[in-house]
Chains A and B, each alone.
Chain A
């Protein structure tokens, strides 16, 4: 267990870590070091470097959970050495996964009978879940086309341009064409009418998002379902729907229970949700649920025959930790329906507070909607003096990480700041954040605007030369061109961040 020859120096263990020679040497970055070092030194070095990472709880960019109760932390640490895939060795952990799948399936109104088990699986995140769901659709569509004797080499999928990057990955890696419905200013989700228009006989499914990454909006899945049902009647193509409920799946059932977006709509065949977003678990768990057995082609499922039990598996990853699955089950039984509802209501309340305070500054336009994921996305009313990218940079000084993004096509001229309200973003933190934003605005107001100064310089030059009366139209063009150059230069520097962080 403990390596016997780690200590090369006889009296090394006497030195406190920072007195030892390890604090003096630079660690190799490209090659493995030749000798071992004491574990205290290794711990200290790694720990100290990591101090320069951002503070996860002040990372307002991410939907992913950053705080859990200490009891759950203990469960996580106790199961950190359990390899989740060893179903035979860890039957209880496997059963906990199955219980979670059933609970989530029922939450989404899957048409399962009382004793029937739901069809679904735990994944590492929504990316894996989406790839599995997409694979199922692709395989079903191929089988249908083969039976009809039609070509099956050009599958496509219809989504909005606001999709998270994992859909693009799915399309590229599994060789499916991505047909994106473009956005427009003021409408930042997929338009159901346009989506249904784009559906053709090669469409394997239409993917709707419940909780768009950019503005937190819920797409109108019900309307999509109605339009698609009509089209299916005329064409006979039987195109299904997948709902990417990565964020919204654990919000809508508690806050908006009458909103029909899940298996209550007959065309919805699979849903994915991130356990590590509003499922309130640390990063590393997602869930995909199918409506029924028919929606998951048997050929994709691998059967591993263990002593006595047959366990079907359908995941991309094999060995992985069990901790997050156990943590998800903990949250389900610890909080229950009532608990999740209370937490979501708190988040909405804090989002509302933040939204009101930000609107009060008078400088921002609120881009996010009231109904949706609890987040606040806001754009500058007047972006000529300074940009949202500068605000984002300045907020970093206070410790806040607030990302600034430009929208995807066709609304790339809109840039927003986005604050995600997670469970652990309390009222007091919201107030502090608002006061910091006000400070930042004040500072930026007092700074001479970077663009205007340069433009002023340019006009000065042209004024002087104008007195010479030489080449007037030429000079005017120069000023314009230079201004354009400057705009472009600054836009390039404040690099875009469209679909990076989920």
Chain B
């Protein structure tokens, strides 16, 4: 266990870490170092470098949970050495996963009888969950087309252009065409009518998002279901729906229980949700739930026969840690329905505080809606002198990480700032953020606009030759706008962080 010959020099253990020679050497970056170093030195060096990472709790870009109770931290640490896939060695952990699947399936109103086990699995995140769900749809569609004797080499999937990058990954890696419904200014989610129009006989499913990454909006899954049911009647194609509820899956059931978006709609065959977003667990857990056994083709499931038990598995990852699954179960029983509801209501309340604080400055348009994921997306009313990207940069000085994005096609001219309200973003933090934003606006107002200065310079030189000059000014203006647009485009962060 403990290496017997780590210390090469006899008196090394006497030096305090910062007195030792290890802090004097630069660590190799490309090759493994030849010798060992004491564990205290290794810890200190890495710990110190990591101080320069952002503070996770001030990262307002991410939906992913950044705080859990100390009791849960203890459970996590105790199970950090359990390999989740060893179902036979860790039967309790496996059972906890099954319980979580059942609890979430019931939360989503899956049509299960009493005592009937739900069909679903724990994954590393919504990306894996979406790939599994997509695979199931692809295989079902292929079998259907084969049975009809039709070609099955060109499957496609219909989604909005606001989808998170993992759908594009799924499409590219599993060779499915992605048919995107374009957005437009003021309408930043998938239009159900346009989506249903795009459905053809090669469509394996239509993917709706509950909680769009960009502005937190819930797509109208019920309307999509109605339109698609009608189309299915005439075409006989039987196209189904998948709901990407990565963010919204743990919000809608608590705050909007009458909103019909889940298995209550008959065409919805599978749902994914991120345990590490509003499931309130650290990064590394997602859930994929299927409506029933029929929606998950048996040929995709691998059966691992352990002594006495048959465990079916359908995941892309094999070995992984058990901590997050245990943490998810802890949260489900610790908080219960009442607890989750209270937390979501608090988040919404704090989002409102932030929204009202921003509206009071009279400088911002609020782009996010009331109903949806608790976040506030806002853009500058007047971004001719300063852009949202500059606001984002200046906020970093205070420690806040607030991303600025341009919208996907066809609304690329709209740029927004987005603040996600997580469980640990309290009211005091919200008020502090508003006051810091006000400070930033004041600073920007005092700064000369970078764009205006260049234009002013060109006007002076242009006064001498009229015709040629007019063209020149226009050209110069175009050039400058183009340069800044390119600069902003190069820095844009459309679908990076979920």
Contact = CB atoms under 8 A, between A and B. Distances in A.
A79 B50 contact: yes
A29 B99 contact: yes
Contacts of B66: 81
B32 A337 contact: yes
A37 B336 contact: yes
Contact of B300 (A68, A127, A153, A173): A173
Nearest to B326: A46
B125 A319 contact: yes
A53 B124 contact: no
A173 B175 CA distance: 11
A18 interface: no
Given A102-B29, A305-B491, A500-B306, A33 B333 contact: yes
A231 interface: no
B172 A300 contact: yes
- Most chain A Cβ neighbours within 10 Å, of B80, B173, B401: B80
A149 to B, nearest CB: 17
B330 A165 contact: no
Interface in B448-498: 490-493, 495-498
A496 B305 contact: yes
A53 B27 CA distance: 40
Nearest to B393: A307
Interface string A16-27: 000000000001
A157 to B, nearest CB: 16
A423 B393 CA distance: 47
Contact of A90 (B53, B92, B274): B53
Given A89-B62, A305-B491, A332-B32, A166 B318 contact: yes
A391 B401 CA distance: 58
B156 interface: no
Contacts of A52: 91-92
Given A47-B75, A59-B86, A305-B492, A326 B50 contact: yes
B140 to A, nearest CB: 14
A211 interface: no
Given A53-B82, A53-B92, A333-B46, A1 B77 contact: no
A319 B276 contact: yes
Given A494-B307, A496-B305, A501 B36 contact: no
Contact of B82 (A71, A169, A283): A283
Contact of B308 (A3, A46, A495): A495
Given A56-B83, A81-B66, A300-B172, A30 B46 contact: no
Contact of B35 (A33, A42, A338): A338
A343 B80 CA distance: 21
Contacts of A496: 305
B11 interface: no
Interface stretch (B100-108, B215-223, B233-241, B261-269): B100-108
A279 B211 CA distance: 39
Nearest to A494: B307
Contacts, number: 392
A39 interface: yes
Interface stretch (A91-99, A188-196, A477-485): A91-99
Contacts of A502: 85, 318-319
Contacts of A124: 124, 317, 320
Nearest to A335: B36
Contacts of B36: 334-336, 338-339
A89 B47 CA distance: 16
Interface residues of A, number: 137
Interface string B301-333: 010111110000000111111101010011011
A115 B180 CA distance: 41
Interface in B40-86: 40, 42-43, 45-47, 49-50, 52-54, 56-57, 59, 61-62, 64-69, 71-86
A286 to B, nearest CB: 8
Contact of A36 (B1, B59, B334): B334
A106 B319 contact: no
Contacts of A102: 29-31
A336 B321 contact: no
Interface string B326-362: 1001101111111110110000000000000000000
A458 interface: no
B46 A50 contact: no
B52 A424 contact: no
Contacts of B392: 307
Contact of B52 (A28, A62, A91): A91
Interface in B276-320: 276, 282-284, 299-300, 302, 304-308, 316-320
Contacts of B330: 42-43, 46
A89 B53 contact: yes
A415 B393 CA distance: 63
A81 B283 CA distance: 7
A40 B67 contact: no
Interface in A395-452: 401, 403-404, 423-424, 426
A90 B210 CA distance: 28
Contact of A92 (B53, B65, B67): B53
Interface stretch (B126-134, B195-203, B378-386, B435-443): B126-134
B30 A99 contact: yes
B57 A106 contact: no
B230 interface: no
Contacts of A137: none
Interface stretch (B162-170, B363-371, B410-418): B162-170
A164 B85 CA distance: 13
A198 interface: no
A33 B67 contact: no
Contacts of B39: 69, 71-72, 334
A276 B339 contact: no
B244 interface: no
A339 B172 contact: no
B6 interface: yes
A92 B335 contact: no
Contacts of A77: 73, 76-77
A73 B173 CA distance: 35
B489 to A, nearest CB: 8
Nearest to B2: A69
Contacts of A386: none
A177 interface: no
A293 B13 CA distance: 44
Interface string B116-160: 001000001111100100010000000000000000010000000
B93 A53 contact: yes
Contact of B80 (A93, A282, A498): A282
A262 interface: no
Interface in A309-347: 316-322, 324, 326, 329-330, 332-340, 342-343
A50 B85 CA distance: 15
B424 interface: yes
Interface of B: 1, 3-6, 27-37, 39-40, 42-43, 45-47, 49-50, 52-54, 56-57, 59, 61-62, 64-69, 71-86, 88-93, 96, 99, 102-103, 106-107, 115, 118, 124-128, 131, 135, 153, 164-166, 168-169, 172-174, 274, 276, 282-284, 299-300, 302, 304-308, 316-322, 324, 326, 329-330, 332-340, 342-343, 389, 392-393, 401, 423-424, 426, 490-493, 495-498
28 contacts: A32-B106, A36-B338, A43-B330, A53-B90, A56-B89, A68-B81, A75-B46, A77-B76, A81-B56, A88-B493, A91-B53, A102-B31, A103-B32, A125-B317, A166-B318, A169-B302, A282-B80, A302-B168, A307-B389, A307-B392, A317-B316, A326-B46, A329-B46, A342-B3, A495-B305, A495-B307, A497-B307, A498-B305
Interface of A: 1, 3-6, 27-37, 39-40, 42-43, 45-47, 49-50, 52-54, 56-57, 59, 61-62, 64-69, 71-86, 88-93, 96, 99, 102-103, 106-107, 114, 124-128, 131, 135, 153, 164-166, 168-169, 172-174, 274, 276, 282-284, 299-300, 302, 304-308, 316-322, 324, 326, 329-330, 332-340, 342-343, 389, 392-393, 401, 403-404, 423-424, 426, 494-502
